[in-house]
Chains A and B, each alone.
Chain A
Amino acid sequence: MSNYTAADFKKGQPRWCPGCGDHFFLASLHKAMAEIGVAPHDTAVISGIGCSSRLPHYMATYGMNTIHGRAAAIATGAKVANPKLSVWQVSGDGDGLAIGGNHFIHANRRNIDLKMILLNNRIYGLTKGQYSPTSPRGFVSKSSPYGTVEDPFRPAELCFGARGHFFARAVATDAPGTVDVLKEAYNHKGAAVCEILQNCVIFNNGTHDSVYTPTERKKNAIYVKHGQPLIFGENNEFGLVQEGFGLKIVKIGENGITEKDILVHDAHCQDNTLQLKLALMGDGDGFPIALGVIRDVEAPTYNDAVEAQIAEVKAAKKYHNFAELLETNDIWEVK
């Protein structure tokens, strides 16, 4: 049982626009941290720059609201230097995937134990509405008045491409779904990317409308859970099956399909092929958007390996302080 309540993690009055998805996410983060039960003074929340990166100011933990794009790199140093800290890195889609893209992929590749929150509203909000690396092709914004002529990143692809071991997705307004994903991310040892679909009411209102309310999610989302069949629909009437190189939607009860025929979600599968297919669904392809923990595979973490190597070398070497280090050199004496 945790000794904490959400109030123990709360601080200050958020300055986000009324209705901003960040408010919802913040409340879920407070709740998740309370349920996780790590003390606020053993927790560090580190963000970059952008609307969502204001978040650490509303946490009663240790934290930093740093510089644009560098949150993952800064959090990496904090975690390696002080591995006992529970380190959460918060970025938006611009911070995390544009200016900070390099740090995002390398944190995943290294598998450092960071909880990497990506608040994705597909827009630059703080600079008042330019397209972001997750804005869809053709997106009209202040910096693309005739529509963008470039394709967006899909965060899961980047994470998987960087050999990420954990990827989950939640909708900011879906508190239980978000809290669940955050707790799972905490329980995963290693880099854990949580893509949070979050609405910008001012500059990109409605970008996640298809999944932003419970009703819409019933229609357009699928909650994936390890070990459970991939079933969705307003009446749980649909399921996913494998067909050829891809997935296919089937209706349970039709053409002899029963629940037993439905693909069972395996978040722990090393091979990420099907997990990636799940993660990429819902891009206007007729498939539902997958929510929940899509990939969660155990692997050695960077910070553990760093500590283990230090311990190993300490045991193997005969010098352990500066004076002893000096003695490992060729020394002569002037008399």
Chain B
Amino acid sequence: MADTLEIKEREDVVVRFSGDSGDGMQLAGNIFSTVSATVGNSISTFPDYPADIRAPQGSLTGVSGFQVHIGAGQVFTPGDKCDVLVAMNAAALKTQYKYAKAGAAIIIDTDSFGKSDLEKAAFKTEDYLGEMGIDPDRVIACPISTMVKDCLADSGMDVKSILKCRNMFALGLVCWLFDRDLNIAFNYLKEKFAKKAGVAEANIKVIQAGYDYGHNTHSSVANVYRIESKTKVKGRYMDITGNKATAYGLIAAAEKAGLKLYLGSYPITPATDVLHELSKHKSLGVTTVQCEDEIAGCASAVGASFAGALAVTSTSGPGICLKSEAMNLAVIMELPLVVLDVQRGGPATGLPTKSEQTDLLQCLFGRNGESPMPVMAATSPTDCFDAAYDACKIALEHMTPVVLLTDAYIANGSGAFKLPNLAEYPAINPPYVPEEMKGTWTPYMRNAEGSRYWAVPGREGFQHILGGLEKDNKTGAISTDPENHDLMTRLRQEKIDKIQVPDVEVLGDKDNADLLIVGFGGTYGHLRAAMDEMRAAGKKVALAHFKYINPLPKNTAEVMKKYKKVVVAEQNMGQFASFLRMKVDNFVPYQFNQVKGQPFVVAELVEAFEEILKK
């Protein structure tokens, strides 16, 4: 984690619009450039016309492309390869896919992928994605022609004219993906078609429809954020998003522990990609059940855990609300369970596609009774792998549910991932009940770490009943005895407190910092960048970034008290700060809180931290 990370915040996005020469790709690309330039991006564009101007419609030689490179900083080229490829027909996909980066999002008009379209584009089968080796998860497949026809059904326009607006639908969708202000596009069109009000109106309507489609389907593109390590270590790398890294971490942990991986889940933005990814890997024995609701997702995982699997449930904040009851059951039954919360904007449905860190206190405390639960937070897309692996290890070895927090930003963001060697990862050894305890074992006997033993059904002589009612510490029978309940409450807490987590590392001027920046989870890259910038300007600044939140690292209080000024910066109203204040006596930090649904902006952080230094 001590890596210096480089965040490319939508700094460098390449979009390639492609379709038939008559599809208006250049207009769509130009409007997108204009919209982006108006908000201060620099742009570079590259029109790529076919050699054969009058090539037949839908043919390979008739494809035209228009590439737009937009950047927050200076952009000098139209970009080598694109992050988003818009392919308005089969021929465009066939010829233009080579310009797409690995992992790029592909937008296609499924209405232009009929049998004859595919033939014209020299596809051999109807599985055009499979033929090109494109992962369907990366494809935003949308019946654009149909939707444009519906959208303009009452316009009085003829079908040919209506279909000329398909480019605007694609543009609207791209504007959704990159949060562009549609009004700029609308004004552009009103000016361009000043004398044809009807055309302007139709185009505007279709842009809005494309934008709304993106909104309604929670369309998003991975790779919009790149979080790269500046220190390149030798080795083999792949590109990975946070959600995929999480899925890989779970798979790796299951393999290491020799257990079946079970995921009980319910689709929810922005966590669904984990369900998608795991569902693909049945050849590794991964079992995924898409349940009837969030409740069943978690409840079935508890059942799977009882039955002996590495059980996981994945969701986002609204799902945590519903899963809390079954999470609590896993607390009292002391069964291993990993609960993944890919945080999004809240409360309630909130901002489904946006990023926040607002579920921390919910995960720490949002359950009835005394319900201690380990909570950890991944710090970058690639760290999601290690964090997921660790969450599984803690859950399995300490017989407890564990919450793993990520967020929409690191879940959809990506980075270069050095291929892990599973042999180098620590062993995972769940406390299976030893055979020699047969006859004397009861369900709440504990090992030295305070963990209950795991007796998996199927083992003869270890039949037992667990449940949501308090149990007698000795016999495992239902008990309402006051002393026993007090004891069990303490034992459950002690077990969590005893979990060993690494000390929090202090980066930067750890001996003489005038300001300690404190953060947790997905904000690491930005806080690190802010610290680096301030230190480069001669300021004495340090950073303590937390991955393990419950239990907190042993050196937490020592670190918090060491510096004259401490600022806790988080994407909520101060949840981690209040948790730290609860755990560290007489600790009153400065706070930097932002709840915009967007990642921090380094310049804003620096400005705020410099203000604190002046105080």
Contact = CB atoms under 8 A, between A and B. Distances in A.
A77 B419 contact: no
Nearest to B235: A334
Contact of B461 (A41, A46, A61): A41
Contacts of B309: 81-82
B236 A80 contact: no
Contacts of B281: 325
**Interface of chain B: mostly helix, strand, loop or mixed:** mixed
B463 A61 contact: yes
Interface stretch (B34-42, B201-209, B466-474, B518-526): B466-474
A322 B289 contact: no
A321 B252 CA distance: 9
In order of increasing CB-CB distance, the 10 nearest A-B pairs are A77-B303, A77-B300, A65-B467, A81-B304, A82-B307, A317-B283, A73-B296, A73-B299, A78-B303, A74-B303
B369 to A, nearest CB: 12
B463 A310 contact: no
B252 A322 contact: yes
B450 interface: no
Given A41-B460, A330-B238, A77 B467 contact: no
Nearest to A83: B307
A49 interface: yes
B497 interface: no
Nearest to B286: A310
Interface stretch (A21-29, A52-60, A251-259, A290-298): A52-60
17 contacts: A44-B306, A57-B478, A60-B463, A62-B463, A62-B465, A67-B468, A73-B292, A74-B299, A76-B289, A76-B291, A81-B307, A82-B458, A103-B296, A106-B292, A306-B289, A320-B284, A331-B237
B306 to A, nearest CB: 6
A74 B239 CA distance: 36
Nearest to A314: B283
A333 interface: yes
Nearest to B456: A82
Interface string A66-98: 110010011111111110110000000000000
Contacts of B460: 39, 41
Contacts of A84: 458
A205 interface: no
Nearest to A54: B478
Nearest to A315: B283
A334 B234 contact: yes
B326 interface: yes
A329 interface: yes
A81 B254 CA distance: 13
**Interface size class of chain B, counting residues whose CB lies under 8 Å from the partner chain:** 35 or more
B422 interface: yes
Interface of A: 12, 39-42, 44, 46, 49, 56-57, 59-67, 70, 73-82, 84-85, 102-103, 105-106, 306, 309-310, 313-314, 316-317, 319-323, 325-326, 329-335
B301 interface: yes
Contacts of A105: 292
A46 B303 contact: yes
Contacts of A325: 248, 251, 281, 284
B307 A66 contact: no
A64 B296 CA distance: 16
B302 A77 contact: yes
B342 interface: no
In the complex, which of the residues A49, A85, A314, A326 has the most CB atoms of chain B within 10 Å of its own CB atom?
A: A326
A41 B459 contact: yes
B264 interface: yes
A77 B236 contact: no
B308 A81 contact: yes
Interface in B466-502: 466-469, 477-478
Interface string B247-288: 010011001000010101000000000000000011111010
A210 B462 CA distance: 43
A322 B287 contact: no
Nearest to A60: B463
A63 B467 CA distance: 8
B237 A76 contact: no
Given A41-B458, A81-B309, A323-B422, A73 B291 contact: yes
Contacts of A56: 465, 467
Contacts of B308: 81-82
B419 A331 contact: yes
B461 to A, nearest CB: 7
A323 B238 CA distance: 13
Contacts of B283: 310, 313-314, 316-317, 319-320
Contacts of A335: 234
A66 B333 CA distance: 9
A74 B300 contact: yes
Given A76-B291, A106-B292, A330-B238, 13 more contacts: A63-B463, A65-B469, A66-B299, A77-B303, A77-B307, A81-B304, A103-B292, A310-B285, A313-B283, A322-B284, A329-B238, A330-B102, A333-B236
